[in-house]
Chain A
Amino acid sequence: MGKHFGAFDILGPVMIGPSSSHTAGAAKLGKIASQIGIGPIQKVTFQLHGSFATTGRGHGTDKALLAGVLGFTPDDERLKQSFEIAQERGIQFTFEETDLGDVHPNTVRFILEMENGTLNTLTGSSIGGSNILITELDGEEVEFTGVYPTLITRHPDRPGIITSVTAILARMKVNVAFMKVFRISRGEMSNMVLETDSLVPPEALREIEKLDYIERVILIHPVI
């Protein structure tokens, strides 16, 4: 209440039914998960929590989550056939009912096994409408919505690193809309999450990757 709503807050999104939170939101979560690893995905395990576990199947939550991992958007009619498409592409998938603790009722944890042998995890919730919130990446706390292009850097918790990253963005005229730094503990590693108004260009990404101390950079394209 209180906020002004625009025409397209009311009409749309165009989406595959039946539920904005359990289907469209689920597809968005999957699409974010599809972007965190390097190279093709070999196997994905979905740990379903709360309402995602109990009423998910009737809403096609499982199909939508997998479709997102395959890279489909929430309005893609292939959502319905995601199981078959994953099988054709040789991607294994399993669903588990889990208690992820004190989290939003519509929460899923993705465990992604990549073809190169690496393992990535991501936890996110469908928080109402088709809005989502990512809360965990590779076992560490993060927070972003997927509405904006999102840059996530992992580096030691020490002075100057944040400035060197944002200086590159400033030079490339990329405006930062929201920014948060999550450190595991003082002086240890930390994750910086930058939600930007425009997509970070590839040359900026390469420069950031080359910075001292930067251990990993992930760029996540927005999912709408």
Chain B
Amino acid sequence: MFNTAEELLRLCQSQKISIGRVALETEIKSSGSSESELMDKMRGILTVMRESSSAGLTGEIKSLSGLTGGNAYLMNIYSEEGITYCGKAVNKAIARAFSSSEVNSAMGRIAAAPTAGSCGILPAVIMTASEIFPTSDENILLSLFTASAIGAIIAHSATLSGAEGGCQAECGAATAMSAAAAVELAGGTPEMSLHAGAIALKCILGLVCDPVAGLVEIPCSKRNAMGAVNALSAADMALAGVISLIPFDEVVTAMAKIGKTLPCELKETAQGGLAATPTGRKIAKKILG
């Protein structure tokens, strides 16, 4: 059992196994289910992630409110163009993150990861990482267990709720989870995964939750896209040997404290930030009457 990154790393090192393996073994013990049952359960989630992250690439998806949509489609076309700043893989990850977000706001089926509002980040990173570093489905499932371990540590010591901690809690957790999983899929060590998680979370600290009209659309879908890019770049940094001098557990504690300090207007109440801009208010009036 682990509740902190320090405990998790100790288990990985003493048993010489990956974070994903530790998370799976822990789940076997705590749930009483078998390994194959848990892998099947995770496969159900992976299947939904595959669908949600690809649905918007080939056709435009419009949200229930009609406010947003079609960005996954645009980015997918753009990703195929020869010369871009971010390159094909990263642009494709952006397209995929948009896709799940768009499916979510169009009342389609998604897997919360860790929340519905941040559901685009992990699928985009996992699909992109496993395309760049081709691997078995079993390893992809284990990387989802890795992501879950990082999320569990954040949930234990901070929060995953935008209403409690702002966007840094939702998209922040998702980006840290994704960075750690991406490192594992690339063959990095558990230590590197935790550095990647720490770096990714550090870069989103303080981000507020200020959804226009209270809907999971503006700016959520863009933050999902940026969360995926942030995760991939943090993973690359860690794989290159860059470390986070502030350990993962301390970054998580900082996130929790920042979340408590944020005023209520900036925690999912749609009263501050982008929601309170003239345009944000105008949209809210139009949607909510």
Contacts and interface: CB of A to CB of B under 8 A. Distances in A.
Contacts of A6: 27, 30-31, 148, 152
Interface in A5-26: 5-20, 23-24
Given A1-B157, A11-B151, A58-B65, A17 B216 contact: yes
Task: Specify the main secondary structure of chain B where it touches its partner.
Answer: helix
B152 A7 contact: yes
Interface stretch (A74-82, A132-140, A153-161, A178-186): A74-82
Contacts of A13: 111-112
A18 B216 contact: yes
Contacts of A4: 1, 3, 30, 152, 156
A7 B64 contact: no
Contacts of B30: 4, 6
Given A4-B1, A55-B214, A75-B109, A15 B156 contact: no
A129 B161 CA distance: 8
A154 B159 CA distance: 39
A18 B116 contact: yes
A17 B156 contact: no
A54 interface: yes
B216 to A, nearest CB: 4
Interface in B74-113: 103-113
A76 B21 CA distance: 31
A4 B2 CA distance: 8
Given A18-B64, A18-B216, A3 B161 contact: no
Contact of A16 (B27, B107, B157, B158): B107
Interface in A48-107: 51, 54-55, 57-60, 63, 75, 77, 79-80
Contact of A14 (B109, B145, B155, B287): B109
B110 A15 contact: yes
B155 A10 contact: yes
A9 B26 CA distance: 13
Contact of B116 (A1, A2, A9, A19): A19
19 contacts: A1-B157, A1-B158, A5-B152, A7-B38, A7-B149, A10-B177, A11-B42, A11-B144, A12-B45, A14-B111, A15-B112, A19-B116, A24-B116, A55-B270, A58-B64, A58-B214, A58-B287, A80-B107, A80-B108
Given A18-B117, A55-B213, 8 more contacts: A1-B156, A6-B27, A7-B148, A15-B112, A17-B107, A18-B116, A59-B216, A80-B107
Interface of A: 1-20, 23-24, 51, 54-55, 57-60, 63, 75, 77, 79-80, 128-129
